[in-house]
């Protein structure tokens, strides 16, 4: 029986465990990436380990999220990150160089390698034949220290592509079609591996778009083969030496298979307010639009912006529309200029911003009140845009620019003949803002710069024998990390200051959450949270676990958890328990007192069934499905505590 590509790469990096779905495995990590919203904390965690230098083949620190410098906080973080990179042998991508996933695809992605990133969209590099996985910052810090990454072996879902996309239909539409089938939780515990003749019709940036949006389906990662298309991309980047041909065996056995006829797809959009609320663009056509943005790690490549430029050679942006462009990287911007496409974008009526995440992470670009905003972003969770309520649609660059010139949601096929797009055989490469690591002896002399907003991590106490406390919040299905730990221009700059950022936990759900939690913590009581299905979906931000832990949260019980958030909870000593009977969700209300007796002993003994006593309501049972390593981490109080013990 033949092997899948994902299996081959995992097998070549396997440190421990068996490649059987559901079994815990540990894999060697070749590369890591961080971005500034998660990186400050990741490097504070790495410092506590006490090494002189990272142990990976390559690690990169990107600044792309917190690039608005409205006061000293972000500027101080950037100086801290740059000095840390100098000190520990890390590449540093300065503000303005671009979005981490776009730059990594351009300059560092290597077929057959493993990449762990403190950003949920790290699987973007799967478009270049990598096993690239998003994780919490502490997991990335451990990988930089040379430790393997632990995960449960995913199932491998093969996506067989055949046919060819019709004009005005894009890679984004492939991902949206899959989202309509799988939903935001349908790929949990799975790797999406693309194969079939349709793969050859897609460029590396298009493949990267599809891998990027696999995150919104809950996938562990997504991957394309490395072929002649990959070679052409690497050659255009001056990196042909990094090419390795990789693919699944012809008789590879997949756990599941989905087939997609690319020729049958049409322009799609994700309607407010979830990435899986997918409809055909023509079904939404005619609705007035106030704001449209092309950008994000999913759709800000040169090809994406060239289609915008070509349309704006012929049309102007509608006067009632604010049309904004966020180039994915300095390289994209410079090549647009060289190809005379930037001129068309400007003269067509666009507003161009610096290369970075910007509105996708809620850092500016909030839409107006009661107005539709179309975005080529990754997520349209409620309020993520910075405006509440918001009406955000996720669309392709083709749909975005067509709607921009018409002033209403528009099926791009209405524009007629599809423009001819030709990518250069050799990109203009400018790595001025990409700083290489210092030699080790020189690096040891570097002094790390710390501003007043950079606060050391507190100590985390081990798990007590009994947990007695109150469930102070109950939430519904598909709660996101944006609900738990909001982003935005006011909160993101606090990522390196745990006491300050913890005041914003669940701020938009219950403004008094932090106050109530701290009061219970001071009384020696545990704080509990009740959730529904897919609790913690969305970004990899470990602050959605770290800040609640600081406030005294010790247990979360839900119907199911998103992968990265569950790992982050365990990393910081919070118990993620699953209802044995999902109907018991209805028995608990906010304010209910609870006791979990002998929980420490239960974990030490590897017990799976945990009794929770609810005052005045009797008892319910939850499942503690942990590996030995996960149990030890929770018992120790955090992964850092466990690492110090070992």
* One domain for residues 294 and 182: no
Q: Would you say residue 70 has pLDDT above 90?
A: no
Position 457 pLDDT exceeds 90: no
For 399-420, what is the mean pLDDT? 97
pLDDT value, residue 62: 98
- Rounded mean pLDDT of 355-376? 94
Active-site option among 318, 541, 543, 631: 541
- Do 565 and 487 sit in the same domain of this protein? yes
163 and 192, same domain (yes or no) = yes
Whether 644 has a pLDDT exceeding 90, the answer reads no
Residue 195 forms part of a structural domain: yes
Whether 445 is covered by a domain: the verdict is: no
- Residue-wise pLDDT for 127-138, tens only, equals 999 999 999 999
Query: Which phi and psi angles does 353 have, rounded to 5°?
Result: -110, 175
Asked if pLDDT for residue 646 goes beyond 80, the answer is no
* Reported confidence tier of residue 180, pLDDT bands at 50, 70, 90: very high
Residue 550 tokens read as: 């600081």
User: Diameter of the chain by CA atoms?
Assistant: 72
pLDDT for 643: 83
The answer on 523 and 376 residing in a single domain is no
645 pLDDT more than 80: no
Residue 454 lies in a domain: no
The one catalytic residue among 30, 36, 77, 119: 119
The mean pLDDT value for 567-572 works out to 96
- In order, the DSSP letters of 130-170 are -EEEE--HHHHHHHHTTPPEEEEPPEEEEEEEES-PPTT--
What is the Cα–Cα distance from 454 to 42, expressed in whole angstroms? 12
Q: Is 27 within the bounds of a domain?
A: yes
Residue where a domain stops, chosen among 384, 415, 446? 415
pLDDT at 540: 84
| Rounded Cα–Cα distance for residues 67 and 264 (Å) | 41
Active site residue 629: no
Same domain, 492 and 563: yes
Same domain, 194 and 325: no
pLDDT-based confidence at residue 573 (cuts at 50, 70, 90): very high
pLDDT of the residue at 1 = 80
The reported pLDDT for the residue numbered 179 is 97
Determine the pLDDT at residue 129.
Answer: 98
C-beta separation of 130 from 226 below 8 A: no
Query: In whole angstroms, what is the distance from residue 172 CA to residue 174 CA?
Result: 5
Does residue 220 sit in the same domain as residue 349? Answer: no
pLDDT score recorded for residue 367: 96
Matching residue, tokens 């300095």 = 330
Alpha carbons 165 and 171: distance in angstroms, whole number: 8
Neighbouring C-alpha atoms within 13 Å toward the C-beta of 535: 25
Banded model confidence at residue 312, pLDDT cuts 50, 70, 90: very high
Residue 601 has pLDDT above 80, yes or no: yes
Q: Report whether pLDDT(103) > 90.
A: yes
Q: Between helices 302-314 and 204-214, what is the axis angle to 10°?
A: 110
Confidence band of 96 (pLDDT split at 50, 70, 90)? very high
Among residues 104, 107, 379, 563, the one annotated as catalytic is: 379
User: Choosing from 329, 539, 560, 567, which is the catalytic residue?
Assistant: 539
At 380 the pLDDT is: 94
Q: Which of 381, 415, 449 is where one domain is finished?
A: 415
Please, what is the end-to-end C-alpha distance for the chain in angstroms? 40
Total tally of structural domains belonging to the chain: 3
In a domain? residue 568: yes
Task: Give catalytic status of residue 300 as yes or no.
Answer: no
- Beta bridge partners, 61, equal 34, 92
The catalytic position among 13, 65, 207, 549 is 65
**Would residue 459 count as lying in a domain?**
no
- Could you say which of 30, 64, 76, 242 is catalytic? 64
Q: What pLDDT, on a 0 to 100 scale, did the predictor assign at position 422?
A: 87
Going edge to edge, which strands form the sheet with 114-117?
131-134, 114-117, 31-35, 58-62, 91-93, 434-435
**Can you give the pLDDT at residue 232?**
97
Is the pLDDT assigned to residue 394 strictly greater than 80? Answer: yes
Residue-averaged pLDDT of the chain: 96
Q: Is 64 an annotated catalytic residue? A: yes
CATH of the domain at 475: 3.20.19.10
Look up 608 and say whether it is catalytic.
no
Answer whether 624's CB lies under 8 Å from 635's CB: no
Judge whether 389 lies within some domain: yes
DSSP state of 364: S
Q: Give the pLDDT of residue 47.
A: 93
Where does a domain end: 222, 249, 264? Answer: 264
The pLDDT score that the predictor gives to residue 487 is 85
Query: In angstroms, what CA-CA distances link 502 with 40, 136, 492, 545?
Result: 16, 17, 12, 10
Same domain assignment for residues 38 and 77? yes
CB 26 within 8 A of CB 146: no
Confidence of residue 7 (pLDDT cuts 50, 70, 90): very high
Structural domain of residue 236, as residue ranges?
5-264
Q: What local confidence, expressed as pLDDT, does residue 488 receive?
A: 82
Q: Is 274 a catalytic residue?
A: no
- Separation between Cα atoms, residue 194 and residue 124, nearest integer Å: 13
Banded pLDDT at 456 (limits 50, 70, 90): confident
Q: 503 exposed, middle or buried (CB, 10 Å; 0-12, 13-18, 19+)?
A: middle
Residues 281 and 303 in one domain: yes
Q: Are residues 116 and 134 in the same domain?
A: yes
pLDDT at 97 over 80: yes
Q: What is the pLDDT of residue 492?
A: 86
User: Is there a single domain that holds both residue 260 and residue 272?
Assistant: no
> Phi/psi at 279 (nearest 5 deg)?
-135, 165
pLDDT in tens, 261-298: 999 999 999 999 999 999 999 999 999 999 999 999 99
Q: Do 57 and 197 belong together in one domain?
A: yes
pLDDT of the residue at 352: 96
Residue 391 sits in a domain of what CATH number?
A: 3.30.499.10
- Over residues 335-341, the mean pLDDT reads 95
Catalytic annotation present for 539: yes
455 occurs within a structural domain: no
């Amino acid at each position: 029986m033949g092997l899948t590509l994902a299996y081959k790469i995992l097998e070549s990096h396997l440190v421990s465990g068996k490649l059987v779905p559901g079994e815990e495995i540990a894999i060697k990590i070749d590369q890591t990436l961080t971005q500034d919203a998660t990186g400050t904390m990741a490097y504070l965690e790495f410092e506590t380990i006490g090494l002189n230098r990272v142990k990976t083949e390559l690690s990169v620190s990107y600044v792309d999220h917190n690039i608005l410098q409205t006061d000293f906080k972000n500027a101080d973080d950037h100086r801290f990150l740059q000095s840390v990179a100098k000190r520990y042998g890390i590449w540093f991508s300065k503000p303005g160089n671009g979005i981490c996933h776009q730059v990594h695809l351009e300059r560092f992605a290597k077929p057959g390698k493993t990449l762990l990133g403190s950003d949920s969209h790290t699987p973007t590099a799967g478009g270049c034949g990598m096993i690239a996985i998003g994780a919490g910052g502490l997991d990335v810090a451990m990988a930089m220290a040379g430790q393997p990454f632990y995960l449960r072996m995913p199932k491998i879902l093969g996506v067989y592509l055949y046919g060819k996309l019709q004009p005005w239909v894009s890679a984004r539409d492939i991902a949206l079609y899959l989202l309509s089938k799988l939903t935001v939780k349908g790929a949990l515990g799975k790797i999406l591996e693309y194969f079939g003749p349709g793969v050859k019709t897609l460029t590396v940036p298009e493949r990267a778009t599809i891998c990027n949006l696999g995150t919104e389906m809950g996938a562990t990662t997504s991957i394309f083969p490395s072929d002649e298309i990959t070679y052409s991309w690497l050659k255009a980047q001056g990196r042909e030496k990094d090419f390795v041909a990789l693919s699944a065996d012809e008789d590879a056995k997949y756990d599941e298979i989905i087939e997609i006829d690319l020729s049958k797809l049409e322009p799609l959009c994700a309607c407010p307010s979830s990435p899986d609320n997918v409809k055909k663009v023509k079904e939404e056509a005619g609705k007035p639009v106030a704001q449209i943005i092309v950008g994000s790690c999913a759709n800000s490549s040169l090809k994406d912006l060239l289609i915008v430029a070509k349309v704006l050679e012929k049309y102007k942006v509608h006067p009632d529309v604010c049309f904004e462009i966020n180039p994915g990287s300095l390289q994209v911007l410079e090549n647009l200029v060289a190809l005379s496409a930037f001129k068309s974008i400007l003269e067509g009526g666009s507003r161009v911003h610096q290369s970075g995440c910007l509105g996708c992470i809620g850092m500016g670009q909030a839409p107006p009140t009661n107005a539709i905003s179309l975005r080529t972003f990754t997520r349209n969770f409620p309020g993520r845009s910075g405006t509440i309520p918001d009406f955000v649609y996720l669309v392709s660059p083709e749909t975005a620019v067509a709607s921009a010139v018409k002033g209403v949601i528009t099926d791009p096929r209405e524009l007629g003949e599809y423009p001819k797009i030709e990518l250069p055989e050799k990109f203009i490469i400018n790595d001025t803002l990409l700083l290489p690591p210092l030699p080790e002896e020189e690096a040891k002399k570097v002094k790390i710069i710390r501003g007043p907003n950079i606060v050391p991590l507190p100590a985390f106490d081990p798990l007590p024998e009994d947990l007695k406390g109150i469930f102070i919040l109950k939430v519904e299905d598909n709660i996101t990390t944006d609900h738990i730990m909001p982003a935005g221009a006011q909160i993101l700059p606090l990522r390196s200051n745990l006491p300050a950022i913890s005041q914003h936990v669940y701020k938009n759900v219950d403004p008094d959450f932090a106050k109530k939690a701290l009061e219970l913590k001071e009384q020696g009581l545990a704080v509990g949270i009740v959730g529904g299905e897919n609790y913690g979906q969305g970004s990899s931000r470990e602050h959605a676990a770290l800040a609640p832990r600081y406030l005294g949260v010790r247990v979360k019980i839900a119907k199911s958890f998103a992968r990265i958030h569950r790992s982050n909870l365990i990393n910081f000593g919070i118990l993620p328990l699953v209802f044995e009977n999902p109907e018991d969700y209805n028995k608990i209300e906010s304010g209910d007192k609870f006791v979990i007796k002998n929980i420490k002993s239960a974990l030490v003994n590897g017990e799976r069934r945990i009794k929770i006593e609810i005052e005045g309501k009797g008892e319910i049972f939850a499942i503690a499905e942990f590996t030995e390593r996960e149990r030890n981490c929770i018992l120790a109080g955090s992964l850092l505590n466990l690492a110090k013990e070992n």
